[in-house]
Amino acid sequence: MSTRIGLLVDRVLRRALPGRCAFCLAPALAERPWCQACFEGLPWNLPACPLCGEPQPEAWRGRTCGACLRQPPAFVRTRAPLRYSDEIAWLVRRFKFQASPRAGTVLLALLETALSEEATAWPEALVPVPLHARRARGRGFDQAEWLAARLARRLGVPLLRGRRLHDTPSQRGLDRHERRSNLRGGFRMQDSLPARVALLDDVMTTGATLEALARACLAAGAEEVEAWAVARTPLGEI
């Protein structure tokens, strides 16, 4: 019921408030669902570790974090332009748990705006983080698939799918090492892959899920893998 109500509210807002900022309802920038003030005030993930996207203090700008120095991830870089907090956390929850197309559209637009031309030209395929079939049926909505399908069309690259082999329990409360152990060997790709593949999820927490999927992609023929997410959770908030 809450999902249907959320979808109805989104449709009403789109018709009643065209050209309005999704955050404050002020007039939006041309062809953007936000105003300049709200855009600048979003929790941008700067600076961040270039490998895992972990938010870093200003003094560490451009430097690899200690965790990645000790154990480099299977992906070569992370592109997660926002931090999972404040307005972005609110949008993600509406998108993931209420299937809000308005929230999903704003999140996708933010990701596209933040990605450079070099970044969008890099992948030869996009792979969304898959839900287990049982969880997908229960939720009735796969947020990573929704984002990746639209972004793949806009980038002109194929959307390739993996399969989650185990319906793993919630990762909440687990540290980075425990999450990696929980997901080891948890994915398999359904197709052989091109050399450069970008993985896509809505939120990157510790990176354990994307790490496991990256390893499956390398086993399926990819030579380099990037991890893309709309937002990254700061380590202290996991």
User: Which uninterrupted H or E stretch holds 83?
Assistant: strand 82-83
Q: The tokens 């933010």 sit on which residue?
A: 110
pLDDT at site 104: 94
pLDDT at site 128: 97
Largest distance between two CA atoms of the chain: 53
Cα 211 from Cα 45, distance rounded (Å): 20
**Residue-by-residue pLDDT tens, the chain, 238 positions:** 444 554 454 454 444 446 889 999 999 999 899 999 999 999 999 999 999 999 998 988 889 999 999 999 999 999 999 999 999 999 999 998 888 988 999 999 999 999 999 999 999 999 999 986 666 566 667 899 999 999 999 999 999 999 888 756 555 555 555 455 555 557 999 888 999 999 999 999 999 999 999 999 999 999 999 999 999 998 766 5
Cα 191 from Cα 14, distance rounded (Å): 38
Nearest residue to 152 via CA among 177, 132, 124, 129 = 124
For residues 127 and 217, is the Cβ–Cβ distance under 8 A? yes
What are the residue boundaries of the structural domains of the chain, listed by start?
Answer: 42-237
For residues 79 and 52, is the Cβ–Cβ distance under 8 A? no
Domain 42-237: give its CATH architecture: 3-Layer(aba) Sandwich (3.40)
Phi, psi (degrees; rounded to nearest 5) at 131: -80, 150
What number of other Cβ atoms are within 10 A of residue 214's Cβ? 24
For residues 120 and 152, is the Cβ–Cβ distance under 8 A? no
Cα 92 from Cα 100, distance rounded (Å): 9
pLDDT at site 238: 58
pLDDT at site 1: 41
What are 192's two structure tokens? Answer: 């052989």
